[in-house]
Structure 1
Amino acid sequence: MRPAFSTLLMSTLLLASLSAEAGTLYGGTWVPTGCGAKPAAPQLDLKDPDAFNRSVSGVNTYRQAIRTYLDCLVQEANADIQTVTKSASAAQQAAKDANDKIQADVKAADEKFK
């Protein structure tokens, strides 16, 4: 295999293997795909002290759930950033390799057709 093609193939395979964990862009907004639904913030019930006290447990549950969700979101975002960076670098290297091959072929042609 030519170096440029193999570099491109490897970067494509890497991206495909990591895409199961990758987030998705929707209208310019990045959304994680492996973290489940974002927990909805509860409303405190301010009717009376008993209702308020009962609703506080929902807030505590939410705080734990949102912490877990945000940890997952950050981990997935960082993995996506690394994947995009590696893919862009691989594409740049593939283009450089192709250009180097062209230059070598031009040089060889120069020598051959003098």
Structure 2
Amino acid sequence: LEVVRSAENKRFIDYIRYLNEQKEKGASLRTRAEQERDPIRRATFEQQLKDLDRGVRSYQQELIDKDPDALVARVVRMSIPVDPPQPLLPDGRVDSVGAYYAYRDHFWDHTDLTDPRIVR
């Protein structure tokens, strides 16, 4: 697929291609980790998976930071899961009901509902 005269569409297509490349690398690493019997080598593959995930998150954040008002940046921001605060009970355990309400209250944090490009 080739995009002509649309920088934003080109950035989006490049982003999708990047995700597909990383997905293939991740699938390969995941398969190798699952098949590996040696715990040290398995840990190496798992660390590579974590590094791959960090790289994708960093790429997403760079895309957002480069032009935060671009539609592609807003779409990418919406794909990033929210990380609401985890309320604790007096005994120090996570309050599962409070966690539900915190997640519910923050569900739309990364979505700009005032942007007509998102809502229509």
TM-score, normalised to structure 2, is: 0.39
The structure where helix makes up a greater share of residues is 1
More RCO (CA 8 Å, sep 6+): 1
Q: Which has the larger radius of gyration?
A: 1
Higher strand residue share: 1
